[in-house]
Structure 1
């Protein structure tokens, strides 16, 4: 729609622009004064403040007695005393008022004046969210339990409610185990940021973590293991990073063997569930089946079709859907799970199932013939649908990973979408009538190594697929981040992986307003102090604008802006890791020889952030190649094969060739695993130091001239690596090797010249 201004109204335009500008400035000012995450739907600043003292009273509607207890626990930490209940106090009082008018679930109003604090809500969750807002408005010292004579709240009015029903976090306690105490810390942090669903992945091949009384060997044996390859990989990383040290409290000696593991008794878990419920967090248990059951099958081999328990090509042997004993076992297990977890949701997993043995099983063949089951995916669906009927008979709803839709699924099952490389899976589920929760690996797998782009990606993630209309979009009830713990062996490492990413997810799901990102970043800076007080081992902000590989022709220079004023940046040039005693980086460090500079930021208490390895290489300016007639674009070779590193493509058979003028994977590439070589020349328009930024999932190696400019090789999730080349104007040999190991790919290449902002390489630069 075009808006035109006639003569009568055109003079209003400058005033309108000024009003918009002032509104934005006021919003930014409010964000600075009230650093709340997630930011409320509506906040109006008042005048003055309300002072909470030991004489302040509390009045709570009877529906909110539990929330009054939660507020008093907060006051006990801050004042050393709980607030006194009253009936008719009109000043120096905090009131919880019930209102039918607030119809949105979890909504609340918070009105703070100089005389009183009034929290209005219809449901207890709304009152609790208001209390967490108050917690964020109180001084950071309250997190340390530092007692004061008075606590001051700024005067304001807030009207608030969440955009999404499902605001979740997932924690895998099977691969590495986490204590009851840590689960409660995790719950507290979720509550602070108004998250409301905790999905616990309680069982997998590597360990069974919940007591089942009918099958005691599940924890007597299945909760313990000798160190595996994931443990040894963590131990190797621990040499440079103590966060990878395996928590010793989960290591025992038994029968002369060193075992790792642990489990929750039913009583312990009921305590955790109650703790979460008091904070309006619903714990959803996951017992993963029919695959990922090695820990159970080790003790109960009757669960498989042939009694075998081993790894197949990709995954372990599943339990057998052709045997009635399998259903008896599953129903017995889930009956006890339902006694522990009152949640209406039960997660059955259903992902990554190796169905090979089912095809050979007589009992599976007989079942398929009897029930008219056409193929193995449909056989898995039979298992899932049968378990769903059992869940429903107990008043529960089944959740499964998105693979469960492959063989056909009932529209009443809830689908949890994770496979980024199958983008139509959530759309198919919605079209089938299913409710969907979005948990795509990119960007919501918080076990993927965070980088300078992670928070931005999480904050701007849109849970609603673009192809859905407004009515269909209602089937997407929210999202959650998943933390898989193969390489997360300690509580400190877990903290590092999800904080502060959790805050970005929390605000996105609560507000659904991506245009508040700059405001969020400013507010986040003020939350680091609160995280320090809460003893969260969060990931420090990235040191900005650093590359992996640098080149210089005469003299190099390193200068780094501090992302937080409280940080100290230290460095080494002898190859050792920086520590709290290493030299502080000067304003500009001069570099005249080939050098490895290792830098890291340190907090005032000595906590070290990420270590950055900066390689400096002295290089002559590379002259252009002498070439004859060229054609536009790069010549490409395509290999339909899985490679663990790009060098293995050298002797592979080429399946096809094509020419392309941009660095991308064309739509004609259909193989799940493949390799592509892009080869030709890059014709640069000016002399200079060119920086290249290569993002790959899985691996890539960029060569310009005869040099490796960026090495991002190997099978890994999407990550950026960077490097430089000193180039004279003209054409230079260019080669990019890229491999995809399966599970979805990412390939991006950007450049900058002499420190300019990164941008796409113009198509006309590529020749062959």
Structure 2
């Protein structure tokens, strides 16, 4: 036994040494090759390859366009294009065709001291290799700073994507974005090997693409007076300049201030060509039968009754009972297909208020004639008919997941977004449909990012757990959606999708969750490249901050810099920190209740998020006596919709139950509801307790007589936090949670005296 123990110990030491060396090698690779997305296989070499103005490019005829893109990169870096020559020249960059690389978009990149060889079958693979080279070059390349020579580290890479659909979506209807910004957006997608750009071109708030047969769509539908979304942005712009509406889209017409804009067909064809050169497919979306107010304003014949107004939740749709509707739709999509060569066309199909259809004689007659049993099936009739038209033109229809409700053909492509209908993608797959995953959590990039956003995106698994390996092949990838109701400027758009796009790119290309720590290291290196590209990305979160703090004698504020180049500044007078505010270079002593505002600043003065830190001096709360306490919390369940938790007080209780877990029971099926958890929390020792409450939609936590965490209102999943000083024993506990509809999340964690947060033990809850 002793001999075995010695051998076992020796083995462990050898294993630990090898494991430590492997980790060290990974860290070194992440530092030397800060690539996002990380390649499928990477082996570091010795030495480097130097590119000068005398370096040649040798290319197979299949890769002429990609050789041009490589030369565009060289022009920025060296101030001149490299000669493209034939034959076998020494110290050259070679683009080699290899039919054996059968995986779509795959490539091999071999950089040695003597040459660079890019091998691929697809032109897209060569382009991805060029973007890999771009990331290996100094960030000065992005600024167009010319050098006499460029150095590439020696490396061998074999690479291919995990998913075919690696997409980003941009809504240009709610707020409009310029042609120049679309091209910037495409460049950034290309850098991180994304390949699908879904443009949401029309909605209630604006029609953004020229349709020559219906000129009023842009003459009138592309413009509006400021609406409630614009007003909300203007209000927020007082504290955050990113919410200032881009002035280039504001004009004066007939004495009115109008917001809007549109793309001519010629302009958009230029954008399509620009994207295609970078192997990005632009998928247009003309959303119908709902979300058509901008079109109906100019062409009221599209509705069943000539009215154009909001229903209970959504605007009135176009009418599937009238043949004129199909004539309009086919004419519009015919022109769209002339602009966009993509085999995919998105028809929307979401959030349709079908009330007027049920009242329409034309719809009733159509339903009787076609044997259509209900209004969801009538919507499916419209979608299926449009799909046949698309197919006749050699195109494939994509729709949001609502289109499966009334029955859909298996050839339609489903884009899943409704997180509160988790079986929708499964039903689509079982029906034979191809599915693209775009769930609101975590892939709606218009949702406010927080300290967990990147982690959630990186670890998102597009494959529903209930699908088997064969069924999983129907999930072809994912995309992030940027809805722009509250994104009025290009700077705000940058902030919302960067750096989340990088996490999505690596998840869809590399698909190796164990590389997350390596990704975080590489992301730090990417920030300087984003700076050089003038991307208004969201600065890394200041770590470990709470919304509410308490202290008994003295509080101390100390913040670690997430990036060495940042400066952290603060104010105590209620004003927003600026570049002249005091720097938090050492721990700050706090001896009275006050509000401290802190923010990080980049070297060029760009301010990150402002954190409001409320400090309250408090004596430790004394305990209460309950004899004898029972396990669990008593819960009241309300089957109704609430905008704020306080509204539950006057509502009728639907049922009650007892639980020792802060979570929504699986038996709750109502789309909108409220739950009030009441009782006591039995803490095991004296101390400052921090509580972290994550809610979608809202929640308020009270421990003792006052609110500990306020996370109220209807919003997407977000964490709010607070502290309370507690003596060991029982304290009154109340947590009110509301769900307004659209998927929910409820999670409560705690920490004691700054320890690592963890879930509250169920045995702490009493009643």
Class of the TM-score when normalised by the shorter of the 2 chains: over 0.9
- Say if 1:557 and 1:9 are closer, same or farther in 2 by CA, change over 3 A: closer
Q: Deviations over 1:82-106 (max 9, x none)?
A: 0012222432211100001101000
Cα distance in 1 for partners of 2:528, 2:333 equals: 42
Determine helix, strand or coil for the equivalent of 1:235.
helix
CA distance in 1, matches of 2:651, 2:315: 30
Please give the secondary structure, in 1, of the residue aligned with 2:403: helix
Q: How many residues align?
A: 764
The 1:9/1:637 distance shift into structure 2, 3 A limit, reads closer
Residue 148 of structure 1: aligned partner = 147
Q: Equivalent residues in 2 for 1:546-585 (5 A)?
A: 546-585=545-584
Alpha carbons of structure 1 residues 7 and 363: separation in structure 2 relative to 1, 3 Å? farther
Cross-structure match for 2:104: 105
Aligned to 1:294: 293
Correspondence 1:184-583 to 2 at 5 A: 184-583=183-582
1:158 and 1:14 mapped to 2: Cα distance?
A: 32
The Cα of 1:18 is off from its aligned counterpart by 3.7
In structure 1, what is the Cα distance between the partners aligned to 2:189 and 2:640? 43
Counterpart residue number, 1:606:
605
**Structure 1 position 48, deviation (Å):** 1.0
Greater displacement, 657-666 / 273-282: 657-666
Q: Is the 8 A contact 2:539 2:608 kept in 1?
A: yes
1:10 Cα deviation after fit: 9.7
Contact 1:661 1:766 survives alignment (8 Å):
yes
Measured in 1, the distance between the counterparts of 2:691 and 2:235 equals 30
Q: Which residue of 1 aligns with 2:126?
A: 127
Aligned equivalent of 1:644: 643
TM-score (norm 2): 0.99
Q: CA deviation at 1:178?
A: 0.1
Match of 1:721 in 2: 720
Quick one: distance in 2 between partners of 1:674 and 1:444?
24
Pairwise CA distance, 1:25: 2.6
Deviations 1:390-426 (A, max 9, x none): 0000000000000000000000000000000100000
Contact 2:566-2:602 at 8 Å conserved across structures: yes
In the aligned structure 2, how far is the partner of 1:88 from the partner of 1:744? 61
1:653 aligns with 2:652: yes
Deviations 1:462-501 (A, max 9, x none): 0000110000000000000000000000000000000000
The 2-side partners of 1:117 and 1:100 are apart by: 19
Q: Distance in 2 between matches of 1:416 and 1:292?
A: 17
Give 1:343 shift: 0.2
Listed as ranges, the gaps of 5+ residues in structure 2 are none
> In the alignment, does 2:598 pair up with 1:586?
no
Report the 3-state secondary structure (helix = DSSP H, G, I; strand = E; otherwise coil) of the residue aligned with 2:366: helix
Q: Is 1:53 matched up with 2:52?
A: yes
For residue 22 of structure 1, report the CA deviation from its aligned partner.
Answer: 2.7
In the alignment, the residues of structure 2 paired with residue 362 and residue 657 of structure 1 have an alpha-carbon distance, to the nearest angstrom, of 46
Aligned residue number for residue 35 of structure 1: 34
Structure 1's 732 and 397: CA in aligned 2 closer, same or farther, altered over 3 A? same
The separation in 2 between residues aligned to 1:282 and 1:206, in whole angstroms, is 25
Contact 1:90 / 1:116 at 8 angstroms: preserved in 2?
A: no
The one-character-per-residue Cα deviations of 1:37-94 (angstroms, maximum 9, x if unpaired) are: 0011111111111111111111111110000110111010000000012222432211
Query: Does the aligned pair in 1 maintain the 2:297–2:308 contact within 8 Å?
Result: yes
Is contact 1:683-1:732 (8 Å) kept? yes
Q: Secondary structure at the match of 2:297?
A: helix
- The equivalent of 2:749 in structure 1 is 750
> Could you tell me which residue of structure 2 aligns to residue 87 of structure 1?
86
**Taking structure 1 as reference, are residues 700 and 8 closer, same or farther at Cα in structure 2, changes over 3 Å only?**
closer
Aligned-pair distance for 1:12?
Answer: 5.5
CA–CA distance in 1 between the matches of 2:161 and 2:171?
26
What whole-Å deviation, never above 9, does each CA across 1:609-661 have from its counterpart, x for those lacking one? 00000000000100001222221000111111111101111111111111111
**Cα RMSD for the two superposed structures:** 1.2
The 4+ residue runs of structure 1 with deviation greater than 3 A are 5-21
SS of equivalent to 1:388: helix
Counterpart contact for 1:102–1:121, Cα < 8 Å: yes
What is the CA–CA distance in structure 2 between the aligned matches of 1:170 and 1:635, rounded to whole Å?
44
Give secondary structure in 2 for the equivalent of 1:583.
Answer: coil
Distance in 2 between residues matched to 1:16 and 1:547, nearest whole Å: 41
1: distance between equivalents of 2:210 and 2:5? Answer: 75
Deviations along 1:328-361, one digit per CA (max 9) or x if unpaired, are: 0000000000000000000000000000000000
- Cα distance in structure 1, aligned partners of 2:7 and 2:521: 41
Unaligned runs of 5+ in 1: none
CA shift digits 1:173-229 (9 cap, x unpaired): 000000000000000000000000000000000000000000000000000001000
- Check whether the contact 2:56–2:89 (CA below 8 A) recurs between aligned residues: no
Q: Give the TM-score normalised by structure 1.
A: 0.98
**In 2, Cα distance between equivalents of 1:552 and 1:325:** 69
* More deviation, 585-594/244-253: 585-594
Partner residue in 2 for 1:167? 166
Range with greater deviation from structure 2 (543-552 or 41-50): 41-50
Kept in 2: contact 1:452–1:542 (CA 8 A): yes
Instruction: Give the structure 1 partner of residue 731 of structure 2.
Output: 732
Contact 1:102/1:122 (<8 A) preserved: yes
Contact 1:57 1:89 in 2 (8 A): no
